Amino acid sequence: MDFQLTEEQRLVRDMARDFAQNELLPRARKHDEQGRIDPEVFQMIAELGLWGLTIGEEYGGAGLGNLELSLVLEEINAACAATGVTLSVHNSLLGAPIKRFGTKEQMQKYLPGLASGETIGCYCLTEPNAGSDAAALVTTAKKDGDEWVLDGTKVWVTNGGIAKLAIVYARTNQEVSKAKGISAFLVPLDTPGVKIGKTEKKTGIRGSSTTEILFEGVRLPADALLGEENKGFMIAMDTLDGGRIGIASQSIGIGRACLEASVRYAKEREQFGRPIGDFQAIQWKIADMSTRIDAARLLTHRAALIRDAGDRVSEAAAKAKLFASQSANFAADECLQIHGGAGYTDDFEVERLFRDARITEIYEGATDIQRIVIARSVMA
């Protein structure tokens, strides 16, 4: 097994790191305070080709894989997690399923806009009463001649306020079991009957747009169906496998930022006549943080390589997401403890990192759901 990155992968990572540290990090506090990402950041992401990192070159993308996406997301999230999740959802939860399940016509219609960043995407699965039990969704899509009529409400939609295209999961057959009667639809958000609802006020990743989206009598053409009718739940779960690799990568970035902040502070802060980094109690915290982050990175890169090979990745992605998200929260907690009272104020970035880390154990499959996925796979 080769743990070394290729030259191309190093170049992609270093390009993302330069952008993140020089352009995103100086804006991260502003994004957090104003509750949105500066529009010029989206343009810079487009110029770097990151919106279409995993979209094929024939559609204007970079044609790279999930490992390269993971490398990029780690760097972006080490600077600004709000930008990181925006980019992750766009690539993993919209671009990927169109590439994997779309018709040639759908790919030609949507992928170029997604690759250029002209169209930003979002993923509409969760509903007020269908969170971890995603198959319990009640949004419906009913046939009316050659069209579908979509009705329902989706919540916690990342990118909801800035997206132009959504993948929406709806019930198309009421007569079968929950998971077997769901279909996936590609819905331009300027379609009549689509309304952007409440914008959520969140503890962390505040710069990321999170909204509810309402669909009221939305009429869709037959070719809006993604994949086969009543097979949408399989698309949703496959898509989340890729999304979990993205959130694991986000977790590594946040955790790494906590580690780096801790090392800096431990070298600068003096107590009892010496830097606090000289004390074993602090050194052990830093050692544990570093070890967990490295282990999370290995799990995540393994999952990315499995997905790039086209093999089933559910267990590996769940393990990566479970461990990486827990490691990010561990690192954020230890980082705040190392900073002491100063870390509990907004004088240092650890306060934002602490808030941003928490969501990684919740979205795209809560920690408890990852354990269920892993256990079922191991015991099968």
Q: Which residues does the annotation mark as catalytic?
A: 364
Separation CA 183–CA 179 (nearest Å): 9
Q: Which residues pair with 142 in a beta bridge?
A: 149
- Joined together, the tokens standing for residue 188 give 């331009």
Instruction: List Cβ neighbours of 263 (8 Å cut-off, separation of 6 or more).
Output: 277, 286
**Does residue 313 sit in helix, strand or coil?**
coil
By the 8 A CB rule, do 151 and 139 touch? Answer: yes
Helix residue ranges per DSSP H, 214-349: 232-268, 280-308, 314-339
Separation CA 13–CA 223 (nearest Å): 37
Separation CA 135–CA 264 (nearest Å): 46
Token pair 């079922």 is found at 376
Separation CA 311–CA 10 (nearest Å): 24
Separation CA 178–CA 79 (nearest Å): 40
Cβ density class 39-61: b for 16+ within 10 Å, e for less: eebbeebeebbbbbbbbeeebbb
Positive or negative torsion for Cα 344, 322, 7, 120:
negative
Separation CA 296–CA 258 (nearest Å): 14
- Joined together, the tokens standing for residue 41 give 């950041």
Separation CA 81–CA 31 (nearest Å): 10
Residue 6 burial (10 A CB sphere; 0-12, 13-18, 19+):
exposed
Separation CA 373–CA 74 (nearest Å): 24
Separation CA 141–CA 182 (nearest Å): 9
Closest CA to 242 of 182, 322, 312: 312
